Each structure stands twice: as C-alpha cells, then as structure tokens.
Amino acid sequence: MKKIWALRKATEAVSPVIATILMVAITVVLAAVLYVMVLGFTPTTVNNIVISFSQGSTSTNYTLTVISIQGGTLQLSDCQALFKDANGDPGASGLLSTFDDTWKGNVKYNDVNDDGKVNAPDYIQLNKVAYAVGSSMVLSDVGGTTTFTQVTIS
C-alpha cells in the first residue's frame, strides 16, 4: 500500500527574532485598541463647575439664560437636569441633551451656538402652565453627585 501523504519538513520559516518582533508588535496594537475602547466607556468627570443664570419672562414662558460657566466646559450629555414645580413635586428630568431644541415635559433647552456644550447665551424655557413662581431647577453631573447650580423661579 502506498502512502497518500508524506511528512515534509518545511524548509522556509520565519526566524525566531522576526517572530518575537511580530508578537510584540501585535501585543502593543491589541493593548492600544483595548485602551481606546475602555477609554470610550468611561464617563467624563466634571468637578468644580459653576453655572450662573439670569431669569426672564414672557407671556408664556420663564427663561433662564446662561450668563457664565466657570471651572471648565460642560457637554449637554454630561449634565442632568431636574425640574420641580412650585409645590416641590418632580417635573421634567433627564440629560440636558434630551431637552435640546425639543419641548419635553414643558421644558426646552436652546443651544444657541449649536455646539453641544452649556455656555452663554444658551437658555432654558419653562412653560408657565406647568411651572410657576417658586419652581426650581437643579443641574448636576450625570450621577447626581455634583451640583452645578440650583435656580428657583422668582
């Protein structure tokens, strides 16, 4: 009976030095890819940011206009808003980005510069039907641990 296949010794292969260099290069690339992926999953930390507002009023809305933001920049997606009516009952809440150019729960955020950041002269509108004098707004980080500002409609 004949052998159908025979063991052949490979005469050409990558040298051990080249193989080691390739393994190190692949490891470095994989580590860099994992680092970038993990970095994208970590939330942006925001500390010591203070936002100042001025208050205004029209016949239908209260307007809270950003005067200044100190201590850094703040993305709309990094800022949580909680609105309460004059009785202290919870109203609209969510990331500021969810209120951007859209009425949600009688609240609308207007990103004047359309840059996705909280800065002057952006403003928040509160519908007078749902929010009266004494209503309040708290802006904090996404986890609610750091308060950037608290405003009561007067």
Which single residue is written with the structure tokens 């749902």?
130
Which single residue is written with the structure tokens 């990094």?
78
Q: What is the pLDDT of residues 78-112, one digit of tens each?
A: 889 999 988 989 988 988 888 888 889 899 999 99
Q: What is the pLDDT of residues 36-53, one digit of tens each?
A: 877 665 554 556 788 899
For domain 50-152, give the fold. Immunoglobulin-like (2.60.40)
Cα(135)–Cα(126) distance, rounded to whole angstroms? 9
Report the predicted TM-score, pTM, of the whole model to 2 decimal places: 0.66
User: Would you call 146 exposed, middle or buried from its count of C-beta atoms within 10 A (0-12, 13-18, 19+)?
Assistant: middle
Cα(83)–Cα(145) distance, rounded to whole angstroms? 16
The single-letter DSSP state of residue 101 is: T
Q: What confidence score (pLDDT) does residue 98 get?
A: 87
